[in-house]
Amino acid sequence: MNVDTMRAIDHYAGVPLTFLGTLLDKTLRTLGGAKKVRPKNVLLIELSEMGSAIIVDPAMRKLKAHIDGELHFVIFAKNKVSLQLLGTVKEENIFTIDESGMVPLAVSTLKFFKWCRDKKIDSVIDLELFSRFTALLTGFSGAQNRVGFHSFHNEGLYRGDFLTHKVAYNPHQHIAKNFVAMVDALLSEEEQLPYTKRIIGDNEIQIAKAPVAEEEKQAVRDAITERYPEFDAAANPVILVNSNASDLLPQRRWDRANYCEVIKRILDYNDKAIVLLTGAPGEHDGAQTLADCVGDARCINFAGGVKFLQLPHLYSVSAFMLTNDSGPAHFASVTDMHTFVIFGPETPALYGSLGPSTPIFAGMACSPCVSAANHRKTPCTDNQCIQVITPEWVFDVIRPKLDELTVDAQ
């Protein structure tokens, strides 16, 4: 299903279902008595954003250190691989929901409710900001403890009232800190309204680094050589460019012609550097269009050049990456590679990479125009927030990193 169809279903079916579900849940809890249990088997729900599966890792590691039990995760099937980059959640504790159509979605959802009971899930943390679907998954998971963002007196999206631990979403701090606040709420031994009443420091949202062996790096170098036989790892610094962005928010895409201009400048500035155009196998044609625009043998279409789980290996042999605000910016944070991330309708203050990163952001009066309150659906059809970012601007930002490569080569 496409994104707009899923949004429509979430609205037209989600509102009445969460209302009726809330009435049923409150009735059952009143009759059965609300029970407090110590968190042991904890489920986290984050379906749609691959990058968020990385951003939530500091919160998951904190949770893992404080419970005498197991972490579990539910995610859309197509996004599962993002959880495997760091391996914080065991493979057998990951449940995938098939969103390819209405019937697969319904069938996998029913299986999910049984899976929760088989796994004896006692606590759920709903990481989604605006999904009524995940509110229903939380409400009918069978868990006694249910943590999530609640609108309180805000005019946010109606998601029913299934939560036992209501956390105030803070749109003025990084989403990773909001995730830590949810873990704090679950672990708290005292009632708070709203959760969580403490300062969360930057040191609490450090990303773990993926271990990469030398033979794994060499396998990537061999893959580069297959597409660029002249490649010399000692002489040719590798620069990555990701011009793709998901369909969830197409306004994030910087124009391909701009990428073309920046890549030409990079190759002119450093006559040893090679640029790899990264992407999934399905993005090969778009990458080829960009490679044809650049028209230089040192600009290589590398879409599909490595498997997803080899991305940390690729990042570990690369100097830096220029990318749209999208998943690769977060995937790269599990390594020490620097990223330059172009932001438009989103803000780096909330969704910036937790790795070494430099955001490129105009900060227009209308930006960010997507939030938890609007289902990340903007009316904008003229994304000036990203169009005003010029190739000259971007090149000036990345030039110091290019200068470092020249110094290192001497």
| pTM (two decimals) | 0.93
Provide φ and ψ at 96, rounded to 5°. Answer: -110, 140
Domains present along the chain, CATH in parentheses: 3-205 (3.40.50.2000), 214-409 (3.40.50.2000)
Could you tell me how many residues make up the chain?
A: 410
Q: For residues 375 and 129, is the Cβ–Cβ distance under 8 A?
A: no
How many helices, marked H, and strands, marked E, lie in the chain? Answer: 15, 12
C-alpha–C-alpha distance, residues 188 and 194, integer Å: 12
pLDDT per residue as tens, the chain (410 positions): 777 788 888 888 999 999 999 999 999 888 877 677 999 999 999 998 888 999 999 999 999 999 999 999 999 999 999 999 999 999 999 999 999 999 999 999 999 999 999 999 999 999 998 789 999 999 999 999 999 999 888 776 789 999 999 999 998 999 999 999 999 999 999 999 999 999 999 999 999 999 999 999 999 999 999 999 999 999 999 999 999 877 777 888 999 999 999 999 999 999 999 999 999 999 999 999 999 999 999 999 999 999 999 999 999 999 999 999 999 999 999 999 999 999 999 999 999 999 999 999 999 999 999 876 677 788 888 999 999 999 999 999 999 999 999 766 65
